[in-house]
Structure 1
Amino acid sequence: MSLKPRDIQIKMQSAYGFEISYKVAWKAKQSARDMIYGSEAESFNMLSWFREAILASNPGSVFVLEVHPDTNQFHRLFIAYACCIEGFKFCLPVLYVDGTFGKSPYKGTILCATGRTGNKGCFPLAMCICDSETKNNWCFFFRHLKDLLESQGRVVTFMSDRGNGLLGSFNKVLPGHPHLFCYMHLSANLMNRYGGVSATVKNAVKNKFFELVYASSPSQYRLHLRKRREIGDVKIIDDFLKDMPLENWCRAWFSGSRYGIMANSMAESFNAWFAEEREMPAYGMLDQTRIK
């Protein structure tokens, strides 16, 4: 289903020698998609059946399906397969949490918690389908995630990109777990504040910020901060850092175990692994992740 309507137009012209409009190509793709995965609306009706099938075939799984009480319409769901819950016990106690948007006609957002295997592979633990990255939805996700983790008795380090609604929800639901902000996202956010400056200055800023993040002691941090302020606009770096607790992003102040990790690359790996499923109806999306 990766073909775009424009690609279908070109293939029809090449294979059969006649032209079709973009609208016809789009409708053809939608028809083929419905034949393979079922219709969008019908997929939501299948979720109740899918929940019962998962709980019966994979005991120990967690599948929480919420609907609006007045309309019985889909609201959100949380899912973690028993095999993934059990498997996470043998992964590093690190979880990358992130949100990505769906590409189906109903859009929506997918929240995910991804672990890391011993050979640095992607290990999906849990996911949530909801309408957007609100504080309420992140709280829903973290509450059920917390229940899974408490039974394992490990202190898990979380890493995130400080997404919308995530910070307040995390501090409310998981206050005892270390939370590290992704260095790559912080660096990109900082670079966005340096519009209109030369590439040389930007590279110097980025290198000094790297030294700041990876400082191994408070004295080193203060040294690199002083050097950092010698480059570019002092107010920019001060404004950028003032609302970020040091224990959430600086190696010297981080109290948890980070296992040499400072960037949320695993969440990006999950997004790439999940790219095709994001275009599927809700039921097809979940069934495909089960197969994977």
Structure 2
Amino acid sequence: MTSQDHKKMTSTFMSNYILGMVSAQPTIPISLIQERISGQLNYKVSYFKAWKAKQKALARVFGDWEESYDLLPRWLEYMMRFSPGSHYEFVTTDYKDQYGNVVPDFKKFGRVFWTYKQCCDAFNYCKPMIQIDGTFLYEKYSGTLLIATTQDGNSNVLPLAFAIVEGETLGAWTWFLRLMRVHVTRKQGICLISDRHATYEPCSYLFEQRLAAFRGRNTAVRQWINGISNEKWSRACDVEGRRYGHMTTNLSEAVNKVFRDARKLPITALVKCTYGRLVEYFVQRGSAAAAQQRAGDRYCNKVMEAMTKNATVAQSHIVRTYSIDRSRFEVEEGFNQ
């Protein structure tokens, strides 16, 4: 075998090896590709060559950027066969040629929304709180990925729904929230946290001072603020605890970081990545919950830790009953004898 033949065979084997990695993990970092090739094949590959090979592998798996848009509806239909009850929805516009004439056989992509039934079912057992946030897409085409996120009783993050839209416009957000109300949950009394506020004030007195100063700017601002209840502005006024201690969209921002690399992929690869990550989530969390049940735990770890902590603190309190039906008590800090 000539050196040229050996080089060609090595290149082909390496391409197939990278194809396998990308098929299993579309968001695999270039550095990890280099590391695996070096360890498995004893061959050093430059960052640029590994990047180029990954792009070719992505095109083979998901099609190129244009073809990926054609593939997406078929992949979503395929996904729904294995996840019945999930939902997706497209918005398209007419495609026009260079002369402004509508081409009947083609449509232009506008928006796409998708959610998985397992996430919608799980939300029934989570906090009635949803955080929403948007983040830019990278690479060839512009757009924004919208994500709705919640949190379960064990403080685990759960993505609920996704959408790819033209940007964080009023129309895009209205469309996204409407579809969530129809296809994710019809539960009432949900706390919706939409964006990070410029200020954070846990003290109700200082909050009232700052809000009064804000109201004094002009009549229009005062009228607008007066139409919004204080608990929607500050955690200090959330006497019912509907925010569950959350002031910002930190949950959605955490999910955005998880899908950071996926935002560089063709659209079908991005959507497929959300499916794969959520499969991992349910397998891991389900296994952990099953182990807790086998161990005889009645509540999740977070609740058990809080109950243990509160029980320890309560040992130094004195409780007196103040009603025959034991519905009223007096609690005094001190030490039980």
Report if TM-score (shorter chain) is over 0.5: yes
**Deviation of the 1:26 alpha carbon:** 6.5
Q: Does 1:276 align with 2:264?
A: no
> Partner letter of residue 198 of structure 2?
L
> Partner letter of residue 100 of structure 1?
T
Q: Does 1:2 align with 2:36?
A: no
Is the 8 Å Cα contact of residues 99 and 112 (structure 1) preserved in structure 2?
Answer: yes
In 1, Cα distance between equivalents of 2:114 and 2:239: 30
In structure 1, stretches of 5+ residues that fail to align are 162-181, 188-209
Residue 267 (structure 1) aligns with = 252
Is the 8 Å Cα contact of residues 113 and 124 (structure 1) preserved in structure 2?
Answer: yes
> Partner letter of residue 139 of structure 2?
S
Fraction of identical pairs, as percent: 28
Single out whichever of 103-112 and 66-75 deviates more from structure 2. Answer: 66-75
**Deviation of the 1:68 alpha carbon:** 1.3
- When normalised by structure 1's length, the TM-score is 0.65
Residue 186 (structure 1) aligns with = 198
Residue 64 (structure 2) aligns with = 39
Residue 248 (structure 1) aligns with = 232
In structure 2, stretches of 5+ residues that fail to align are 1-27, 96-105, 278-337
Secondary structure of 1:73 counterpart: strand
Secondary structure of 2:167 counterpart: coil
Q: Does 1:100 align with 2:135?
A: yes
Is the 8 Å Cα contact of residues 234 and 247 (structure 2) preserved in structure 1?
Answer: no
Residue 181 (structure 2) aligns with = 146
Secondary structure of 1:69 counterpart: strand
In 2, Cα distance between equivalents of 1:29 and 1:290: 21
> Partner letter of residue 67 of structure 1?
T
Residue 215 (structure 1) aligns with = 203
**Deviation of the 1:30 alpha carbon:** 3.1
> Partner letter of residue 73 of structure 1?
K
Is the 8 Å Cα contact of residues 37 and 280 (structure 1) preserved in structure 2?
Answer: no
Q: Does 1:81 align with 2:132?
A: no
Secondary structure of 1:120 counterpart: coil
Which structure would you say has the larger RCO, counting Cα contacts within 8 Å and 6 or more residues apart? 1
Q: Does 1:288 align with 2:281?
A: no
Count, aligned residues:
225
CA RMSD in angstroms, aligned pairs only: 3.5
In 1, Cα distance between equivalents of 2:206 and 2:51: 58
Single out whichever of 91-100 and 50-59 deviates more from structure 2. Answer: 50-59
Instruction: Label 1:56 to 1:28 Cα distance change in 2 as closer, same or farther (>3 A).
Output: closer
**Deviation of the 1:258 alpha carbon:** 1.0
